[in-house]
Amino acid sequence: MNVDLFDFALPNDRIALHPAAPRDAARMLVLDGEATRDAEVRDLPGCLRAGDLLVFNDTRVIPAQLEGRRGEARIGATLHKREGPRRWRAFIRNAKRLRDGDVIDFGAGVAAAAGERGEDGSFVLDFAGDEPVELLLERAGRMPLPPYIAQKRGIEARDADDYQTMFANEPGAVAAPTAALHFTPGLIEALEAAGIGHATLTLHVGAGTFLPVKADDTADHRMHAEWGRIDQATADRLNATRAAGGRIIAVGTTSLRLIESASGEDRIVRPFEGDTAIFITPGYRFKGIDGLMTNFHLPRSTLFMLVSALMGLERMQAAYAHAIAAGYRFYSYGDASLLLPGDGA
């Protein structure tokens, strides 16, 4: 499909620079079958049905952004994907000054040697020493806020908490599963009281997930792989929910993509551990999920393509036009949408 179909104009003042406070006070656009209505995240228990199951990503964002020097050259690195105990693939700023074997000094006793350069322009970084890389990042790294936030106001101390979900448990993500940022313990209690359960899986979100597509046709775009895991108990619970007539509602596109990666044509979710590079565009037949809660996404992004696959391109174009006109806040710290395609989807 032509990538231009997924473009739209977004006023700069619609980009949220901080999350709503409290988190569940964020607005939520509900698309339920053919109906559309404005709500708030705290209204979620009344938007779902008893027996439904929300599925969260329990990945934890690591301080994956590093600033260093190779000689006199300033080098920026954003870690993207772990490839070994001390090896990460990273997107590099000022990459033209970096060659295979060069050592970057990130300060605080943290250094890494540059390895091979990938087709996507990223480099392998091998960290020196024998300390766990997570400890090195705690000393030298910064929270990897999306550039559309960091370039507007810089990184603040509060982002260390604001950019983690209440489910964050498994370190390894370089971007937050942002739909889950809206949840609070009180909201989870209200959902449980309404008979709506929750489960967790792990997908370590990479920096490439949220990037706009540069190709002219979706067929020419290559997704970055991300590592994920669904254990047997979670797979069993998802399958039991659906067998009992409940719906599987993914909280965030990362949860959705992993569930779909683990699901067969028989609509059974199986245990999964490994990389996924699934790319969902209109025409895709969903097998593992029945709905999605997600934030509002970038124009021309794989994530806007995903929600268009779930609800239909025209429907999402109209929904985003409504959200822009109604003053919804966009992107990682912005408002939410609840997408329920209905039984005919």
Q: Return the ∠ at Cα 314 (arms to 212 and 246), rounded to 5°.
A: 90
**Residue 131 φ/ψ, nearest 5 degrees:** -70, 150
Span 298-306, average pLDDT = 94
DSSP code per residue over 124-151: EEEE-SSS-HHHHHHHH-B----HHHHH
- The pLDDT assigned to 343 comes to 64
User: What percent of the chain shows pLDDT beyond 90?
Assistant: 82
Strands 226-230 and 170-173: unpaired
> Does 3 have pLDDT greater than 60?
yes
pLDDT 10s digits, 228-254: 999 999 999 999 999 999 999 999 999
- The pLDDT assigned to 209 comes to 65
> Does 344 have pLDDT greater than 60?
no
pLDDT 10s digits, 32-63: 999 999 999 999 999 999 999 999 999 999 99
Tell me the Ramachandran region of residue 311: left when phi exceeds 0, alpha when psi lies from -120 to 50, beta otherwise: alpha
> Does 272 have pLDDT greater than 50?
yes
Q: Which residues pair with 339 in a beta bridge?
A: 31, 292
- Find tokens 């709503």 and name the residue: 20
pLDDT tier, 210 (very low <50, low <70, confident <90, very high otherwise): low
Span 268-296, average pLDDT = 97
Determine the Cα–Cα distance for residues 68 and 139; give it in Å rounded to an integer.
Answer: 13
- The pLDDT assigned to 345 comes to 44
User: What percent of the chain shows pLDDT beyond 70?
Assistant: 98
pLDDT tier, 154 (very low <50, low <70, confident <90, very high otherwise): confident
pLDDT tier, 159 (very low <50, low <70, confident <90, very high otherwise): very high
Beta strands in 223-281 (DSSP E): 226-230, 248-251, 272-276
Beta strands in the chain (DSSP E): 27-32, 35-40, 53-57, 59-61, 65-70, 73-82, 87-93, 103-107, 110-117, 123-127, 170-173, 197-203, 226-230, 248-251, 272-276, 291-295, 336-340
- The pLDDT assigned to 41 comes to 98
Span 162-189, average pLDDT = 96
> Does 211 have pLDDT greater than 70?
no
pTM, entire model: 0.93
- The pLDDT assigned to 57 comes to 98
> Does 146 have pLDDT greater than 90?
no
